[in-house]
Amino acid sequence: MLNRLLRFERRSRGQSQVLEVACERARTQLEAGDLAGVRTSLQEALVAAEAQGSGWLVIGRIQAQVDPELALFTLRRATEVPAEATEAFGALGRLALSVGRLPEAITALSAALWSQPSDHPSRQVLATALLRSGRLAEAQEEVRLLQARRPDDVEVWRLRVEVASRLPSLDERIAALTGALTVVPDDFGLLRHLVDVLDLASRPREGTERLASAARRHPALLLELGRRQSMLSDPGARATLEAAVALPDSPAEAFYLLGRLEQIALQHREAVGNFRRALNQGLRIAEVYCGLAWSLYELGEAPGALNIVLQGLMVHRGEPRLTSLLTRIQGATPAGPVTSITTEQVSGLAGGLDTVALADLLEFFRMNRRTGTLRLTAHHGVAEIHMIEGELASVSSSNVPRLGEALIAQGLLTRSQVDPLVLEGEELLGRRLVDDRLISTEALRQALYDQATTAMTDLIGWKEGQFVFRTDESLRQRIPPGFELNTTQVLLDAMRWLDERSVS
């Protein structure tokens, strides 16, 4: 018996040496990119492991780099060897997670931690596997255990943030992000994430304060802070943007945003300067052209405003806000050039109101289900009628208050809420008000109906002037769905109001 044991020991020692040599050769071949040689060496190592009953773990780790499926099989064999089991379960769990086998990963990693609870790397991988499996409460518990032992570990904090982002509790998300930022205070991605969550939790001021604190250390955040402050009507926005434009490489958007604030404050001269700087730095968005043209117009420089609008239309052909401004400005500029330019910008039906009644026009568009804008011009005013599928969507006239002014007069909105949006055009204002939750859809629908009826009461009496219809399918995106008005009802109410006014 003793001799048999000695022979077995010598044979095992020999197989162990073969295993070690074969695995070392496989590593060298792997570094050289010789995958065929790696497989041959590993096959030799597998024969040795089978003979001695161990060594599966080291083979499985090398196999994982060339053949993950075969490595899974080898590592499962390793978990049956007592001396290799704990490490093998951990390696098996990591590999199973990497190839998307979540149940096997969770089972293997749980076994590894049962044998060695202090294996923090395996616990972190287990938390990741639980998170991907949607087992959030269990993932949260594993992260809690990790943080009790590694409170300053950046990756553990990031994992907690990832788990919290899948939970319904905004407080937990805020706590996770706040804690993570104590460990990595200069991670702008985490900071922006925290600001967004604070907004969701109706705590926007806290988000702004955090951004302001970070901007003091990192001036590159000044533009982002100024953009946010402008959106929230924060009184500190001007100072922030002035600091942003003072930077050596100040971004063009900072000049644009500062110009918008000056425009809202009716400081049009200063606004013009900043809008021009934004254009000179290459910011060619429609908003810059609109802002600059409007401020020039308010300063009495209508020809300059017209020139800017035309420049904008060369870059943004058919842009509704620019064409709307063109209509507003035409009353202050010579008729000839504006008329010829306007004709180039539109396509469709055109004619005189002395030959076709407005009611007949609207009936024609309704029967033909046309989508676009009918623009009316006369010596006593300008009007626009937007239609979707032949039904009225909005009616505005220079002789009646614009939608924003009407909503302010009714006490539904404040001037500070309306002024930042007024340049976007009448048809866009409604969508922005609804999207920003400044007004309910029902209140807006009623306001649009009242405005349309009031404007139509005036337009029915127009017996002279010109009309032009421009097809515009983009109205479907710019006007909130379901806001089409009943054309017949609007006309009937307008005529009734006209009759009541004549009697009185």
Q: What is the pLDDT of residue 204?
A: 87
Give the C-alpha separation, 439 to 411, whole Å.
11
pLDDT in tens, 148-172: 888 899 999 999 999 999 989 999 9
Closest Cα partner for 307 from 345, 269, 341, 259?
Answer: 341
Instruction: Give the per-residue pLDDT at 429.
Output: 66
Q: 10 Å Cβ neighbour count for 235?
A: 8
pLDDT tens digits, residue range 391-423?
888 888 878 877 767 777 777 777 777 666 655
Place of tokens 């008729």: 335
d(CA 162, CA 184): 15
Looking at residue 448, its pLDDT comes to: 79
Is the whole-model pTM more than 0.85?
A: no
Strands of the 381-388 sheet, one edge to the other: 350-352, 466-471, 372-378, 381-388, 391-397
Rg (CA), the chain: 36
How would DSSP label each residue in 315-367?
A: HSTT-HHHHHHHHHHGGGS-HHHHHHHHHHH--S-EEETTTS-HHHHHHHHHH
Domains of the chain, by residue range, sit at 347-504
Contact 396, 489 (CB under 8 A): no
What six digits make up the tokens of 133? 């499996």
N-term to C-term CA, the chain: 127
Task: Determine the pLDDT at residue 335.
Answer: 37
Q: Which long-range contacts (C-beta less than 8 Å, at least 24 apart) are formed by 460-463?
A: 460/358, 460/359, 460/491, 460/494, 460/495, 460/498, 461/498, 462/353, 462/358, 462/376, 462/378, 462/380, 463/353, 463/354
φ/ψ bin of 283: left (φ > 0), alpha (ψ from -120 to 50), beta (otherwise): beta
All residues at 6 or more sequence positions from 268 whose CB lies less than 8 Å from its CB, including other chains: 262, 295, 296, 298, 299
| Res 483: pLDDT | 64
Residues of the chain with pLDDT under 50: 1-13, 333-347
